[in-house]
Amino acid sequence: MQVSPSLLSADFANLERDIRMLNRSEADMIHLDVMDGVFVPNISFGFPVIKAVAKHSKKPLDVHLMIVNPQNYISQTRDCGAAIMNVHQEACVHLDRTIQAIKAAGMKAAVTLNPSTPVIMLEDVIQELDMVLLMSVNPGFGGQKFISRATEKVKKLREMISASGSKALIEVDGGVNLETGRLLADAGADILVAGSYVFSAPSPEKAISSLKDL
């Protein structure tokens, strides 16, 4: 299992310290949640913060854009050090064009689905994708309760990926802890995002290791 701890639950006044902890940990990447107050009912942080994180991170940056018009921010996302750019299907009218542009900019292309969006919406682009991010909470906030239907979506997506010959990895985001992570691992998830579970643990490094072992 790969693990992508979400910095949304880190201590923003001690980001460098928390990034150093993640560098030492078994985390495979760092998940960065950008919220614009329009696509989701909350505002988090933007490109200057990602740039500052990139300066200290030894792990690839997994950038999750919860914003409208993400196609307008592809070069900015690349320039601030993102390895993976996640755009929401619900935010993209010309999703295929946006995926091609992300790859042309040199990043891995990932598409995110809200809990209410069925995986079938990706049938015609799945072969183009490096990753699919399934939301297991409604995006906008850390610390929410896991929506258990996500495990069914992981299974459906796994079938679609196998049938199409796509190499896309399946990442799941929201309400992940040891218990829900186990269900997602059994369903076929490749990468788990975890915010509050990691950062509220007595030892965040151990919490990351325990998810890695699922």
Show which residues are catalytic.
Answer: 33, 173
Nearer to ligand DX5, 8 or 67 (CB): 8
Residues 125, 114, 59, 213, Cα dihedral to 10°: -100
Task: Provide the sign of the torsion angle of the four alpha carbons 184, 188, 193, 194, taken in this order.
Answer: positive
Is residue 88 at the binding interface for Zn ion, with CB under 5 A as the rule? no
Is residue 36 at the binding interface for Zn ion, with CB under 5 A as the rule? no
Nearer to ligand DX5, 124 or 139 (CB): 139
- Which H or E run includes 171? strand 169-173
Nearer to ligand DX5, 9 or 57 (CB): 9
Residue whose pair of structure tokens reads 């950008």 in the numeric block: 34
> In this chain, which of 18, 28, 173, 190 binds Zn ion, going by CB under 5 A?
173
In angstroms, give the least distance from the CB of 193 to ligand DX5.
5
Residue 140: contacted member of Zn ion, ligand DX5, none (CB under 5 to 8 Å, by partner type): ligand DX5
* Residue 172 DSSP label: E
- x/- track of binding to Zn ion for residues 41-70 (CB under 5 A): -----------------------x------
Q: What strand order describes the sheet that includes 191-194?
A: 2-5, 191-194, 169-173, 131-135, 108-113, 82-88, 61-66, 30-35
Query: Applying CB under 6 A, which residues contact ligand DX5?
Result: 6, 8-9, 31, 33, 64, 137, 139-144, 173-176, 193-197
User: 113 has which bridge partners?
Assistant: 134
Residues in the site for Zn ion, rule: CB under 5 A?
33, 64, 173
